[in-house]
Structure 1
Amino acid sequence: MTITGRTVPAAVFGPQTAAGAAHALVLAPVTPRWDGGAFFTPVTRALTEAGLRVTVVDTLSAWDEQIDSLAALAARWRELLGRYGPVDLLCGNALGGAVAQALLPDLAPHTAALLVSGPARSDAVLEARLTEIAELAATGRSGEALALLGRRVQPHDRSVPPGAGAPEPHDPQAGRRLAGGMRMLCGIDLTEAVRAHPGPLLQIVGGHSQLVGHRHTAAAGHHRVHVITGAGMRPHFERAAEVSALVGTFLREKGLST
């Protein structure tokens, strides 16, 4: 899809023309390059098996250096949402989850939200860890930034040793994406927007995450935050069966599965 001269990479999974199929739009996390939606594979599989049509987009493809905050990135995506048609379920992972929560006030009241390690707010610890990665990426050390990110997404009791493996050579495009994306997650607080959303919401986080954990979430009384015991920043890969079961139950309870 081309938007204002910029191509927004997207991947579509599941029934594309089935009448009545609910539509899930997924916003990607910060990745060094577009991975075709691989980052969300276990959840995408659960969604398509439930009969949903799933569109996965590269959140950072709508970003440029003129955008220096999550609010500004969300504003750009707010302009783009209509191009994807009706959205019954808005999903997001990490940065994509934060953008999704910022967009909740713009959705129809009944729209469901599914978030995986998507922060609603940051704190000093999270911001320090994100900034450390961003600074490496911004100063010509994207390989080191990726290596540090790789350690941080592990559960805190199973971190990869700092010296394990040589970092990849610097990739300017990867460095740009990592630096810009990580910085936009600093200083955010979407609590009010999340708690005001009348629709259903499921947030999934890892209990041993070194980055986004339970303290970074927000929810109203009718929303649910589920902590995956022992998991890190990627519970949908570390505990794929458990997360898939949670997603399936959520979809059935909210009438989104066929």
Structure 2
Amino acid sequence: MHLPSRPDLTKSVFGPQSDFIAVVFSPVLAEWDEGAFCMPLLDLLVARGYQVHVYDSLSLAQESSTLHATSENWDAYLRANYPQIDLAVGQAYGGALVNSLLSGFLKTCPRVLGLSAPTRCSAELQSNLASILTCLDMQGETAALDLLEYYVKPERNDKYQPLPPTKVEESGIGQRLRIGFSQLMKADARSHVNNYAGHMLQIYGAASRLVNTDSIVVSSDNRRQISSGISGCGMRPVIEAPEIALRLISDFLD
């Protein structure tokens, strides 16, 4: 599929023009937040001399499609619009997308950073995502977003308290969750990651209910690939433990 340009594609740019380009792919998100999901990281990257292009990962994802098909759409777009990407960053669904793209255009990208970015969808992740989609179908968006937030937060001794079964009118939120989570549930980029020869850092929350050590895989044959679980964190390590996460990322960029 050839996508030389997409004027409707959702994108935000941070920093002045630079010879170094970082591309960031978003998680599913209830709605596009223009890069606020990783703002401390954006500040760091701009300070390090990158111009940062942040994309809504679902811009090229279609309903009833697959993660592989979505990655093919993005691969065509990136090839048509970038001679080279110096740093690729993906968070959650966006991280799974970046991992999938390592078999194509991003194979030559020198550095890849994953933030709670599953290499594969583990049984636990698949089960929890399926629970959110079931909640969406049975109770509506409000309840599904409440359950998602419960899973996103660090694991504690708390128990989920379901909202009353009230169906609400759907907006675009439900469609985003269905497209993103259904694609993510079949993610498996282990072979792509294993064949990637560049530098990779995978950061995740050690207390995450979603993406954890069962979902993160780096190559055992490539010492330039590193995974690091941050204690006490859930799905948002850059937000929940910015000093630790940004120090790891800064060292990775040196």
Q: Secondary structure at the match of 2:196?
A: coil
Rounded to whole Å, the distance in 2 between the matches of 1:24 and 1:199 is 15
Deviation track 1:131-161 (CA, whole Å, cap 9, x = no partner) reads: 1112233456011111001110111116585
Deviation at residue 218 of structure 1 after TM alignment: 1.4
Deviation at residue 61 of structure 1 after TM alignment: 1.2
- Percent identity between the two aligned chains: 30
Q: Secondary structure at the match of 1:61?
A: helix
Match of 2:245 in 1: 243
The one-letter code sitting in structure 2 at the alignment partner of 1:95 is Y
CA gap of 1:110–1:57, structure 2 versus 1, over 3 A, is: closer
Rounded to whole Å, the distance in 2 between the matches of 1:163 and 1:124 is 22
Rounded to whole Å, the distance in 1 between the matches of 2:152 and 2:136 is 16
Deviation at residue 84 of structure 1 after TM alignment: 3.8
Match of 2:69 in 1: 72
1:137 pairs with 2:141: no
Deviates more, 1:2-11 or 1:191-200: 2-11
Rounded to whole Å, the distance in 1 between the matches of 2:139 and 2:77 is 32
Q: Give structure 1 stretches of 5+ with no counterpart.
A: 253-258
Deviates more, 1:102-111 or 1:33-42: 102-111
Aligned length: 247
Q: Secondary structure at the match of 1:105?
A: coil
Match of 1:178 in 2: 177
Deviation at residue 187 of structure 1 after TM alignment: 2.6
CA gap of 1:139–1:166, structure 2 versus 1, over 3 A, is: closer
The one-letter code sitting in structure 2 at the alignment partner of 1:70 is L
C-alpha RMSD over aligned residues: 2.4
Q: Secondary structure at the match of 2:232?
A: coil
Q: Secondary structure at the match of 1:211?
A: coil
1:81 pairs with 2:78: yes
The one-letter code sitting in structure 2 at the alignment partner of 1:7 is D
Contact 1:8 1:62 in 2 (8 A): yes
Deviation at residue 248 of structure 1 after TM alignment: 0.8
Contact 1:143 1:170 in 2 (8 A): no
Deviation at residue 60 of structure 1 after TM alignment: 0.5
The one-letter code sitting in structure 1 at the alignment partner of 2:85 is V
Deviates more, 1:170-179 or 1:200-209: 170-179
Deviation track 1:110-140 (CA, whole Å, cap 9, x = no partner) reads: 5210000010011221111001112233456
TM-score (norm 1): 0.88
CA gap of 1:9–1:189, structure 2 versus 1, over 3 A, is: same
TM-score (norm 2): 0.89
Contact 1:23 1:89 in 2 (8 A): yes
Deviation at residue 230 of structure 1 after TM alignment: 1.2
1:13 pairs with 2:14: yes
Rounded to whole Å, the distance in 2 between the matches of 1:162 and 1:146 is 13
Contact 2:23 2:87 in 1 (8 A): yes
Deviation at residue 233 of structure 1 after TM alignment: 0.9
Q: Give structure 2 stretches of 5+ with no counterpart.
A: none
